[in-house]
Structure 1
Amino acid sequence: MDKENLYQLCLNFIEQRIQTAETALAQAREASNDDTKSSAGDKYETSREMMQQDIDRNKRLLIDAQDNLKVLEAVGHTAAADTISGGSLVHTTEGIFYISISAGQLQAGGKTVFAISAASPIGKLMLGHKKGEDFTFNGKKYKITAVE
């Protein structure tokens, strides 16, 4: 398991989210443009408002995914350091964490790795720590066994 493989898995995750959001946004816009005014005026206005809310929601999802891509690119190829920071691969007694974006569980090298954001609660706790140190999260003690 190497960081380049994990980076690629996160990149694929984000690219899929962007593609899904772009498709949903295009479909919502098309549905809105195809909608014709019916004789039931209030019903039409309600329908248009719901379509606009759908467009706005998909825009936010797309912006969020694009922001995550920027974060991933920023931490993408950081060199290994003793201190945990964005881009670190952190081995603990309770699991392996890749400090990058919130992509959930990834399978790499036959192991489960949790891709987490540095802004997540556990990510914030890890930042600045080194191998051999420990921290407590949700009542569970984690000992850092390696930092790559």
Structure 2
Amino acid sequence: MSLKKQIHQQYKIAVQDKIDVFQDMISALTIDAQNDAKGSAGDKHETALAMMHLEQEKLNYKLKELLEQRAVLDKIDSAREHKVVALGSVVKTNQLWLFVASALPKITIDGITIFAVSPSAPLATQIMGHQVGHTFDINGKKYTIERVE
């Protein structure tokens, strides 16, 4: 399996795992709220329900973000080779490896650390549409694109 396919697959699994966790947490909160509503009354009860509702809203927001990230990953065809940097490209520079998809935590595959960046991130905007040999500066460091997949 190509490095690009491995990167894509690992990110898809990581995002899906997080989606599953958040869906479980939201379900547990819903059940807790229903159980609490059956047996309590008064100010403490109302405060507890309000706190659960706030927590559920936060979890729903995070879940929405994760679903958006999964949608971006689902659009990527990891078999497609790129000549210029675009959504789904794996880019090797003289100093780091990038996966242009969505802002996700870095991963390591076969000793290579890969940083996933959104196409709209400042670093990605420096490389989008460019090919091997393109040089650019970020925070005073000079980078050169050495490979695009």
What TM-score do you get using the length of structure 1 for normalisation? 0.89
Match of 1:142 in 2: 143
CA distance in 1, matches of 2:122, 2:48: 39
Q: Which runs of 5+ in 1 are unaligned?
A: none
3-state SS of the aligned residue for 2:113? strand
The 3-state SS of whatever aligns with 2:6 is helix
> Cα distance, 1:58 vs. partner?
1.2
Give the AA of the match of 1:70.
A
Q: Name whichever of 30-39 and 85-94 sits farther off.
A: 30-39
Q: In 1, distance between residues paired with 2:46 and 2:32?
A: 14
Same amino acid, percent of matched pairs: 25
Deviation digits for residues 115-147 of structure 1, max 9, x if unmatched?
A: 222132212222112111111222322111111
Indicate if the aligned counterparts of 1:13 and 1:103 stay in contact, CA closer than 8 A.
Answer: no
Q: Which amino acid aligns with 1:107?
A: T
In the other structure, the counterpart of 1:49 is 50
Using the TM superposition, give the Cα deviation of residue 105 of structure 1 relative to its aligned residue in structure 2, in angstroms.
1.7
Q: Following TM superposition, by how much is the alpha carbon of 1:109 offset from its aligned partner in structure 2, in angstroms?
A: 2.6
Greater Cα shift, 18-27 or 121-130: 121-130
CA-CA distance at 1:44 after TM superposition: 2.2
Alignment length, in residue pairs?
147
RMSD of aligned residue pairs (Cα, Å):
1.7
- 8 Å contact 1:10–1:101 — kept in the other structure? no
> Unpaired runs of 5+ in structure 2?
none
1:71 is aligned with what amino acid?
A: V
- Cα distance in 2 between the residues matched to 1:80 and 1:69: 21
Partner of 1:113: 114
Partners in 1 of 2:127 and 2:46 — Cα distance?
A: 50
Structure 1 residues 142 and 12, CA gap change in structure 2 (3 angstroms): same
Distance 1:70 1:128 in 2: 22
- Structure 1 residue runs of 4+, over 6 Å off? none
- Matched AA of 1:88: S
Matched, 1:14 2:15: yes
C-alpha separation in 1, matches of 2:35 and 2:140: 54
Moved more, 103-112 or 1-10: 103-112
TM-score scaled to structure 2, two decimals?
0.89
Q: Which moved more, 1:120-129 or 1:23-32?
A: 120-129
User: 1-side partners of 2:13 and 2:85: how far apart?
Assistant: 24
What is the distance in 1 between the residues matched to 2:68 and 2:105? 17
Q: In structure 2, how many angstroms separate the alpha carbons of the residues matched to 1:57 and 1:34?
A: 21
Q: Encode CA deviations 1:75-118: one digit per residue, 9 max, x unaligned.
A: 23362222100111101011011112222221123211112221
